[in-house]
Amino acid sequence: MSRYSRQISVKSVGPRGHSRVRNGSVEIYGHGLDSQICALYLAGAGVGTISCHSKVIDQVRAINSEVETLEIAEDSTDFRAVCRKETFRSKKTNELGRGSQVARDVIACFLREQ
Amino acid sequence: MDDSVLVVGAGGLGAPGLLQLAHAGIRKFGIIDPDRLELSNLHRQILYTEADIGAPKAECAKNHLLRRFPGIEVHVSVEAFTKNHESMLDEFDLVIEGTDQMETKMLVSDLCIDTNTPYVFAGVVGTEGQVLAVRPNISACLRCLFDEAPPPGATPRCEDLGVIGPIAGLVAAEQVRRGLALLDHDETVLNKLWTYDGVRAREREIRLPKMSDCRGCGSRIALRGWITTKRSQTVDDEISRAKELSVENEVCPQTYVHTKRALDELLPGEMLWVMIGSDESARNVPVSAMAAGYHLLSKTFDGRVHRLLFQRPKINEDDNV
């Protein structure tokens, strides 16, 4: 069974949507648990290139060695993700909620592409 | 924080939930999961790494937690949850339930009621999820919602409809939030079913009253054993007699108008299959029907038609309809 089979099985994703995710790139700022969770979900989804803080990069590589990683020099604790010129944030009350919400929004952004 | 948490199912909900619970200050954990990590788990079970593939999830979860949070206490059981785990429930202040099998969910619910252990049920499949926090004998339990587990194979699972990783994370985050609220004796989370629609990014709370004659926590609790031994045959018989309604060519709100009319004509305990073509209606009709007091027993999708199985509550449950 493939690494992404569960994601491709989702009706609103499918092979085309998954291909868009695989071609996507995202920058994740911050290095707290919310940033880590966001990066891990996006790495798990197979996003092509993830730029993040050096403290997060090893975790991304450990969960998905297929993802290209780039290091972001900015040492900001302000968690946010940027892709397709959009910036995503979340007001969820816990770190898992914030990281998941932003990762969900980034994937939705990729899926919206024509 | 001196509270302890038992996590049943260290998968798409339990694995990220453990991370958040440890981060929130929980220092004693129990983890029950019989499965080994597979490659297809990694997109949503973010506690694990590629190096864990093939190893028992419970053991991997313990190792990763100890690496991130040295000094915490973690007990693991690499077995399926059974009645033999009842004594383990006594050792924990809260149970986080995140398995993908309704039979196991019902068993966790029943044993938590019996041992008076607060628990939070959660489920996620496709792009939708639900969370229910339960304080035994005070608030509505899982059987107040579902009465009994549908037959194996009757409900969709991740293998069938897939799941989007961050949506599992969002559901797990809400499950943890409500679990921590239970530990803080915050009663505002009780008697509410939280639902999440990941396509629309929409959250809802549905009021769920405690059923006085619930088989899990009410006057019909003695029927549990009977249900366990007779369930499959009984449910199969009831399903075979279910009526059918097709609203495949209708759209909202006509889908619900027709469904509600047919549900209202059912006798107590009778079931109704509803075939729906519109995805939007397939999301909205069950929410409205459940809010009206009907039970949703099964929901499947064959790529073209959604098949929903409803049941009118049996006698004495009917007050809510």
A13-32 confidence digits (pLDDT tens): 999 999 999 999 999 999 99
Backbone angles phi, psi at B72, to 5 degrees: -80, 165
Mean pLDDT score across all residues of chain B: 88
Give how far the C-alpha of residue B105 lies from the chain's centroid of Cα atoms, to the nearest Å: 6
Specify which residues B122 forms β-bridges with: B131
B170 touches chain A (CB under 8 A): yes
Give A-chain residues touching B42 at CB under 8 angstroms: 3, 44, 63-64
For residue A49, what are the contacts with CB-CB under 8 A and spacing of at least 6? A24, A25, A26, A67, A68, A69, A70
Identify the pLDDT of residue B226.
46
Give A-chain residues touching B201 at CB under 8 angstroms: 104-105, 108
pTM of the entire predicted model: 0.79
- Minimal C-alpha gap between A103 and chain B (Å): 6
Residue of B23, B39, B162 lying closest to A10 (CB–CB): B162
Residues B209-240: pLDDT tens digits? 898 878 888 877 666 654 444 444 566 677 77
A63 and A38 Cβ atoms separated by less than 8 Å:
no
Closest by alpha carbon to A76, among A53, A59, A107, A94? A53
Domain ranges of chain A: 16-111
Residue of A5, A94, A104 lying closest to B166 (CB–CB): A104
B14 and B33 Cβ atoms separated by less than 8 Å:
yes
For residue A40, what are the contacts with CB-CB under 8 A and spacing of at least 6? A59, A60, A63, A99, B46
- Minimal C-alpha gap between A56 and chain B (Å): 13
- Chain B (224-283) residues lying within 8 Å, Cβ to Cβ, of chain A: 279
Specify which residues B308 forms β-bridges with: B274, B299
Residue-level pLDDT, tens digit, chain A, 114 residues? 589 999 999 988 999 999 999 999 999 999 999 999 999 999 999 999 999 999 999 999 999 999 999 999 877 778 999 998 899 999 999 999 999 999 999 999 999 874
Residue of B44, B48, B198 lying closest to A6 (CB–CB): B44
Q: How much is the average pLDDT of B46-65?
A: 98
B186 touches chain A (CB under 8 A): no
Backbone angles phi, psi at A24, to 5 degrees: -80, 160
Give B-chain residues touching A99 at CB under 8 angstroms: 166, 169
Place of tokens 């085309």: A16
Nearest-angstrom CA–CA distance, A14 and A12? 6
Residue of B16, B43, B50 lying closest to A4 (CB–CB): B43
Place of tokens 């993040």: A52
Residue of A37, A95, A105 lying closest to B46 (CB–CB): A37
B96 and B61 Cβ atoms separated by less than 8 Å:
no
B126 touches chain A (CB under 8 A): yes
Structure tokens at B108: 């966790």
Q: Dihedral of CA A33/A36/A41/A42: which sign?
A: positive
Nearest residue of chain A to residue B39 (CA atoms):
A3
Nearest-angstrom CA–CA distance, B312 and B269? 5
Question: Helix, strand or coil for residue B28?
Answer: strand
For residue B136, what are the contacts with CB-CB under 8 A and spacing of at least 6? B112, B113, B115, B116, B117, B118, B119, B217
More confident residue, B208 or B299: B208
Q: What is the dihedral of CA B245, B248, B250, B256, to 10 degrees?
A: 40
| CB pair distance less than 8 Å for A9 and B166 | no
B49 touches chain A (CB under 8 A): yes
> By 3-state DSSP, what share of chain B in percent is helix, strand and coil, each rounded to 5?
40, 25, 35
Q: What is Dmax (Cα atoms) for chain A?
A: 39
Give B-chain residues touching A47 at CB under 8 angstroms: none
Q: Which among A33, A100, A101, A106 is the top mutation candidate for probing chain B, defined by the most B β-carbons within 10 Å of its own β-carbon? A: A100
Nearest-angstrom CA–CA distance, B45 and B29? 18
Identify the pLDDT of residue B290.
84
| CB pair distance less than 8 Å for A95 and B198 | no
Specify which residues B94 forms β-bridges with: B5
Question: Helix, strand or coil for residue B83?
Answer: helix
Domain A16-111 has CATH 3.40.50.720: yes
Question: Helix, strand or coil for residue B146?
Answer: helix
Residue of A2, A8, A41 lying closest to B165 (CB–CB): A41
Mean pLDDT score across all residues of chain A: 93
Of B33-47, B92-106, B161-175, B267-281, the range with the lowest mean pLDDT is B267-281
Closest by alpha carbon to B52, among B64, B63, B42, B60? B60
- Minimal C-alpha gap between A21 and chain B (Å): 12
Nearest-angstrom CA–CA distance, B253 and B233? 36
B43 touches chain A (CB under 8 A): yes
- What chain B holds in terms of domains, given with CATH numbers, is 4-207 (3.40.50.720), 241-320 (3.30.110.40)
B14 touches chain A (CB under 8 A): no
For strands A49-52 and A68-71, give the pairing: parallel
| CB pair distance less than 8 Å for A107 and B162 | no
